[in-house]
Structure 1
Amino acid sequence: MDTIRSFSADSEDALWQQVAADMAREANLFEYTADLHQEGYTVRLELDIDLGGGFEGGFETTTFTAPVPTHVELRFALHEQDWIHEIGKLLGLTDVQLGYPELDPAYIITTNDPAALQGLLSDPVLRETLQKYQELRLSLAPTHHDNVDELFLTLTKEQAITDPQQLQEIYHLMLSLLQQLSPAAPVAPATSLRTNA
């Protein structure tokens, strides 16, 4: 695993100036992991690029992950519409509609509380970002790690995004969601962020 970098700042712009400078110094970004600390929140950025070789195809992913206090009751997943999910809908699988014309046709949306998710995504800037980076999965779900349930907000895109400006747009989405989900008690930087070794 690559070194986990750590950056902190009082503003998004100051934080991303640090990240952009660090990324520019990297000869390659095949594996890049950074913990981004702002306003008491921690968001982990992971880029993973495998070029493959021989008969193996490569892959690439961009992932943002942030711990959320387990007392938050909302759970959800948004992922892109594709032909597999269209067939599932024909077979009776359902997703919720939030009443946002830019999101409802673009994503399969599941949640335990449609009204809460609708409120969480009420900012048009956040919906614009989701539409811009449409082929992604965004979820708020528990994970079982060492027999302890932990709750994570996770955004995964099966593309390596290496442009710091685009990464900052996605980070802004994550931070905005975190601020709404846990406005009074952000999760302190912790070792609870999963590390895939």
Structure 2
Amino acid sequence: MGFLKGIFGSSKNEVWKQLAEELGGEFIEGGFFKTDKVNANMRAWTITLDTYTVSHGKTSSTYTRIIAPFVNNKDFKFKVYKKGFFSDVGKMLGMQDIEIGIEDFDENYIIKGNNEGLIKELLCKEDVRLLITQQPKISIEIKDKLGFFDKTPEEADILYFEEAGVLKDLERLKKIFLLFASILNNLYSLGVTSEENPNIK
């Protein structure tokens, strides 16, 4: 087993269980109809790591996602992604291209949002910016819904990260969770959210 582990690396479950332990969270084994997940609580918010699969006929693609529902008091939306991460995302409805005035960041990332002042305040926070730049590639945004069957209440939105494949890099996953915690804390400081539990199942 040690030889095979050296070739193929740790399994997803091993890494995710260790992640849950180090975050003081919980690893939940999925079973046949549900995927495995890691939940970590911070204040009223729950940050969840899981995967989902999209079928393309005879083939399928699996994605890793991290989500955190929160009550959005200002209908604030943003998306930040590294240049080259998407070939062409086009214009996002109701969101403008923004520069925050920090040259290195503006040169390397596409920033979109519906409130220029709030996005500048958020991304000018050094902890948020540093955790974004520590990712080899990143796309993080605030979404209304996860899909058609999502039961997110109207006053709540979802902080959302997604990447193709199954992420098993422990240090990288920890830093994404830290990024989520940092963004949520700063959204709280900016009055965008409160410590109200969004009560999303």
TM-score range, shorter chain: 0.5 to 0.7
Within the alignment, does 1:163 sit opposite 2:169 as a pair? yes
Range with greater deviation from structure 2 (181-190 or 104-113): 181-190
Alpha-carbon distance change, 146 to 66 in structure 1, aligned in 2, over 3 angstroms? closer
Which letter does structure 1 place at the counterpart of 2:23?
Answer: W
Range with greater deviation from structure 2 (112-121 or 150-159): 150-159
SS of residue paired to 2:105: coil
1:71 is displaced (CA, Å) by 1.3
RMSD, aligned α-carbons: 3.9
Q: Where do 5+ consecutive residues of structure 1 fail to align?
A: 1-6, 26-30
1:16 corresponds in structure 2 to 23
2:113 corresponds in structure 1 to 111
Alpha-carbon distance change, 157 to 133 in structure 1, aligned in 2, over 3 angstroms? farther
**Aligned residue among 51, 62, 65 for 1:63:** 65
State the TM-score, normalizing by the size of structure 1.
0.66
- Report the Cα distance in structure 2 between the residues aligned to 1:169 and 1:101, rounded to whole angstroms: 23
Contact map agreement 1:42 1:188 (CA 8 A) in 2: no
Contact map agreement 1:67 1:187 (CA 8 A) in 2: no
2:187 corresponds in structure 1 to 181
Range with greater deviation from structure 2 (145-154 or 116-125): 145-154
1:69 is displaced (CA, Å) by 0.9
- 1:86-118 CA-to-partner distances (Å, cap 9, x unmatched) read 9x69xxx96211122333222222111122111
State how many pairs are aligned: 170
1:135 corresponds in structure 2 to 137
Contact map agreement 1:102 1:127 (CA 8 A) in 2: no
Within the alignment, does 1:43 sit opposite 2:47 as a pair? yes
Which letter does structure 2 place at the counterpart of 1:176?
Answer: S
Alpha-carbon distance change, 152 to 49 in structure 1, aligned in 2, over 3 angstroms? closer
Contact map agreement 2:122 2:128 (CA 8 A) in 1: no
State the TM-score, normalizing by the size of structure 2.
0.65
2:88 corresponds in structure 1 to 85
SS of residue paired to 2:103: coil
Alpha-carbon distance change, 127 to 134 in structure 1, aligned in 2, over 3 angstroms? farther
Alpha-carbon distance change, 78 to 147 in structure 1, aligned in 2, over 3 angstroms? closer
Which letter does structure 2 place at the counterpart of 1:42?
Answer: T
Question: % of aligned pairs identical?
Answer: 16
1:73 corresponds in structure 2 to 75
SS of residue paired to 1:36: strand
Contact map agreement 2:153 2:198 (CA 8 A) in 1: no
Within the alignment, does 1:153 sit opposite 2:156 as a pair? no
- Report the Cα distance in structure 2 between the residues aligned to 1:147 and 1:122, rounded to whole angstroms: 29
- 1:115-136 CA-to-partner distances (Å, cap 9, x unmatched) read 2111112232322221232433
Alpha-carbon distance change, 85 to 105 in structure 1, aligned in 2, over 3 angstroms? farther
Alpha-carbon distance change, 63 to 187 in structure 1, aligned in 2, over 3 angstroms? farther
